[in-house]
Homo-oligomer: A and B are copies of this chain.
Amino acid sequence: MARETDKRIRLVNAAKVLFHKQGFNVTTLADIAQDAKVPLGNVYYYFKTKELIAEAVLSNHNRELLDTIKILEESKNIKDSLLGYLQFEIDNIEQIVTSGCPIGGLCQELAKQDGSLTISATKILNDTLLWVEKQFQGLGLEKDSRELAMQFIAIIQGHALLTHTFKDPKILMQLKPILSIWIDKVISAKSISIPIEKIEEYI
């Protein structure tokens, strides 16, 4: 891990905000340098390329996810833990209205270009998925845990996209009671999904 000098931190934080607000490709190094109050030429002392700043931003997001998970693990039960994840998104509702989910946005944008950035962005969503999967396993839903986790993340990401697109915080807010009921139903049904081998019947 590189030493976290003050300027380095400022650059990463500025880039993190700008990538979220404007997207990775639209954001210029000059934008980042200006917001971080670092002269453009000096940026290159800390990051040899724009891609390396993005890697630092993604690594920052990843660390943030681990912190979030650590807090969520202290929930009094698994349902609260899952709902707590949504709550973290709702806590930043204004940012989601104006810029969408930072991770979802970066995945969407970066998955279209090749290179290591795609992998780093995907990793964050995948780590989230694995954690959610673990929660469903803890609920005794081992068999369907992956599908359920996928649905859980998809529902939140989808609502974040619509919240962003329609600039309406209510869309994400209304998800809370819906998810709460959904989790209850999943638990009581002990299985919500169709066995893979039977999928053809439905297609």
Give residues in A with beta carbon < 8 Å to B.
Answer: 21-23, 25-26, 99-100, 104-105, 107-109, 111-113, 121-122, 125-126, 147, 150-151, 153-159, 161-162, 164-167, 171, 173-174, 176-178, 180-181, 192-194, 196, 198-199, 201-203
* Residues B174 and A21 in contact, CB atoms below 8 Å apart: no
A161 to chain B, nearest CB (A): 5
* Residues B165 and A107 in contact, CB atoms below 8 Å apart: yes
Q: State whether A192 and B178 are in contact (beta carbons under 8 Å apart), knowing that A25-B26, A105-B108, A156-B158 are contacts in the complex.
A: yes
Q: State whether A193 and B166 are in contact (beta carbons under 8 Å apart), knowing that A154-B161, A158-B154, A161-B157 are contacts in the complex.
A: no
- Nearest residue (CB) in B for A174 is B147
Q: Which residues of B contact A107 (CB under 8 A)?
A: 161, 164-165
Cα–Cα, bound, A108→B26 (Å): 13
Please list 26 pairs of residues, one from A and one from B, whose beta carbons are closer than 8 Å in the complex, sorted by A's number: A26-B113, A104-B161, A107-B161, A107-B165, A108-B164, A111-B164, A122-B165, A147-B174, A150-B159, A150-B162, A150-B171, A154-B155, A154-B158, A154-B159, A154-B161, A154-B162, A156-B158, A158-B161, A173-B199, A174-B193, A176-B202, A176-B203, A177-B193, A177-B194, A177-B203, A178-B193
| Interface SS of A by simple majority | helix
Q: Which residues of B contact A150 (CB under 8 A)?
A: 159, 162, 171, 174
A129 to chain B, nearest CB (A): 8
